[in-house]
Amino acid sequence: MRDKKVLFLTQAAVIAALYCVLTIFVNAFNLANGAIQVRISEALCVLPFFTPAAVPGVIIGCFLSNILTACALPDIIFGTLATALAAVATYKLKDHRFLCTLPPVISNMLIIPLVLKYAYHLEGTVPFFMITVGAGEVISCVVLGSLLISALIPVSKYIFRPAEDVA
Q: What is the pLDDT of residues 61-102, one digit of tens each?
A: 999 999 999 999 999 999 999 999 999 999 999 999 999 999
Higher pLDDT, 141 or 2: 141
pLDDT for 48: 97
Whether 156 and 50 have beta carbons less than 8 Å apart is answered as: yes
The average pLDDT across 19-39 equals 93
Instruction: State the total domains in the chain.
Output: 1
pTM given for the model: 0.93
> What's the chain's average pLDDT?
94
Nearest by Cα to 145 from 79, 27, 48, 53: 48
User: Taking the mean position of all CA atoms in its chain, how far away is CA 167?
Assistant: 30
φ, ψ for residue 149, nearest 5 deg: -60, -45
Q: What is the pLDDT of residues 98-156, one digit of tens each?
A: 999 999 999 999 999 999 999 999 999 999 999 999 999 999 999 999 999 999 999 99
Cα–Cα dist 129/125, whole Å? 6
pLDDT for 162: 64
Is pLDDT at 164 greater than 60 in this prediction?
Answer: no
Cα–Cα dist 14/84, whole Å? 17
Containing structural domain, residue 152: 2-165
Plot region of 88 (φ>0 → left; ψ -120 to 50 → alpha; else → beta): alpha
CATH (domain of 112): 1.10.1760.20
